[in-house]
């Protein structure tokens, strides 16, 4: 209640105006990593941690934005070409530019952004800002909102204003997340199935390594290009394939050996991760947390060894988790190169787990990890 009220009150103090409050969640991906841009499957859940945007329209075409968490005031006109400036305001500029390109008629706006999604932890704080802001701008302008189109506009903002050729997972779940559920997203058809998170006495625990995750240094885009190269080469044997999503494990066993070793490893991760994701959904649906946990560990090993997007701190968190009582599974979550792990832990074991992992990780790295239990939240919405 206070959280919901606070951006509105701040906004009133700053501008003397009443605001509408919009919000969108961060996400934790349970399994299905680096599969989205291969037309594959992912299983994220929206977090119960959100970005809130207090917003009121202006009639001069200016968008003015401040953040409770980040410095400076962002200001630009929707009547002028919108260009990158290299600061956090690019998230706001990017989504506004994307929506204008999609021919939505926006108005100017005063915006106050406030978030409790950890930044740089691989929990999609950027997607939460883009989607919440995009929703705010559309609602202020009285434009209809199609959540899939909003997600696609936010993804394009990321491509064009952040330079990361990301897939659709983060923006999609920020827009369409369903309370109490994870989403099995088919990243080709852009349809989803809501999978109930009835964990039967278990909890999802996030452990932030506090090593900042940065995708912009080119490794992410490089992985994407390596997957595309794999598709090009494999299509000599399998002419019908369009993306790695289309490659069956049996066919890969036959033709994978024709690939250069590095491309082989990258493709192996994606093809097996797609299969793991579908298997994990089946396991979750029958309440088989042991199998789900085993698939989480296998996903981590594949991301570490074949896709090479983990880092020593994430590996350490998974290693420590695997030795704790009551842990079904653990893996890095999100793009990698730092960020957080996701852990499936029996409810009664959670306090001891958090205590052990905090101590052991601190002892080995000198860093205190941030840990929290999360529930599946809902997607973008109006709060008032």
Residues serving a catalytic function are 170
CB of 166: closest distance to ligand GLA in angstroms? 3
Query: If we measure between CA atoms, which residue out of 279, 51, 38, 44 comes closest to residue 176?
Result: 44
- Distance from CA of residue 274 to its chain's centroid? 17
Q: Does 203 help bind ligand GLA (rule: CB under 6 A)?
A: no
Q: Does 130 help bind ligand GLA (rule: CB under 6 A)?
A: no
Q: Does 337 help bind ligand GLA (rule: CB under 6 A)?
A: no
Task: Classify the C-alpha dihedral 208-192-50-355 as positive or negative.
Answer: negative
Q: What is the strand order of the sheet 202-208 is part of?
A: 327-333, 340-346, 202-208, 370-374
Q: Does 36 help bind ligand GLA (rule: CB under 6 A)?
A: yes
> For residue 16, what is the DSSP state?
S
* Span interacting with ligand GLA, options 28-36, 177-185, 195-203, 317-325, rule CB under 6 A: 28-36
> For residue 38, what is the DSSP state?
G
Token digits for 259? Answer: 């690939």
Encode 52-67: b = buried (16+ Cβ within 10 Å), e = exposed: bbbbbbbeeebbbbbb
* Span interacting with ligand GLA, options 30-38, 56-64, 230-238, 317-325, rule CB under 6 A: 30-38
Q: Does 339 help bind ligand GLA (rule: CB under 6 A)?
A: no
Q: Does 335 help bind ligand GLA (rule: CB under 6 A)?
A: yes
CB of 141: closest distance to ligand GLA in angstroms? 27
Q: Does 34 help bind ligand GLA (rule: CB under 6 A)?
A: yes
CB of 244: closest distance to ligand GLA in angstroms? 13
Site for ligand GLA (CB under 6 A): how many residues? 10
Token digits for 50? Answer: 């959100």
**Host H or E run for residue 186:** strand 181-186
Q: Which of residues 138-177 bind ligand GLA (CB under 6 A)?
A: 166-167, 169-170
**Residues forming the site for ligand GLA (CB under 6 A):** 33-34, 36-37, 166-167, 169-170, 334-335
């Amino acid at each position: 209640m206070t959280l919901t009220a606070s951006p509105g009150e701040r906004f009133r103090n700053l501008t003397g105006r009443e605001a509408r409050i919009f919000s969108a969640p961060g996400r934790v991906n349970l399994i299905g990593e680096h599969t989205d841009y291969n037309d594959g499957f992912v299983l994220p859940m929206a977090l119960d941690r959100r970005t809130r945007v207090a917003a009121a329209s202006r009639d001069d075409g200016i968008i003015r934005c401040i953040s409770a968490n980040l410095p400076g005031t962002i200001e630009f006109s929707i009547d002028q070409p919108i260009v990158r400036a290299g600061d956090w305001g690019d998230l706001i500029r990017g989504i506004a530019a994307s929506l204008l390109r999609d021919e939505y008629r926006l108005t100017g706006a005063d915006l106050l952004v406030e978030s409790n999604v950890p930044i740089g932890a691989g929990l999609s704080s950027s997607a939460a800002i883009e989607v919440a802001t995009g929703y705010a701008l559309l609602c202020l302008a009285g434009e209809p909102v199609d959540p899939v189109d909003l997600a696609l506009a936010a993804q394009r903002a990321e491509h064009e204003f952040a330079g990361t050729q990301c897939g659709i997972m983060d923006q999609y779940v920020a827009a369409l997340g369903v309370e109490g559920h994870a989403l099995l997203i088919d990243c080709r058809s852009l349809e989803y199935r809501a999978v109930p998170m009835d964990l039967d006495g278990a909890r999802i625990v996030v452990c932030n390594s506090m090593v900042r995750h940065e995708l912009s240094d080119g490794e992410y885009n490089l992985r994407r290009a390596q997957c595309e190269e794999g598709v090009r080469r494999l299509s000599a044997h399998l002419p019908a394939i369009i993306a790695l999503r289309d490659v069956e494990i049996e066919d890969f066993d036959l033709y994978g050996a024709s690939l250069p070793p590095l491309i082989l490893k990258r493709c192996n991760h994606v093809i097996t991760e797609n299969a793991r994701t579908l298997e994990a959904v089946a396991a979750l649906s029958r309440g088989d947390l042991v199998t789900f946990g085993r698939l989480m560990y296998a996903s981590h090993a594949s991301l570490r060894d074949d896709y090479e997007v983990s880092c020593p701190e994430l590996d350490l968190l998974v290693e420590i988790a695997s030795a704790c009582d009551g842990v079904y599974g653990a893996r890095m979550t999100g793009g990698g190169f730092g960020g957080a792990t996701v852990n499936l832990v029996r409810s009664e074991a959670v306090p001891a787990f958090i205590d052990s992992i905090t101590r052991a990780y601190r002892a080995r790295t000198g860093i205190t990890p941030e840990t929290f239990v999360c529930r599946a939240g809902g997607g973008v919405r109006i709060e008032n």
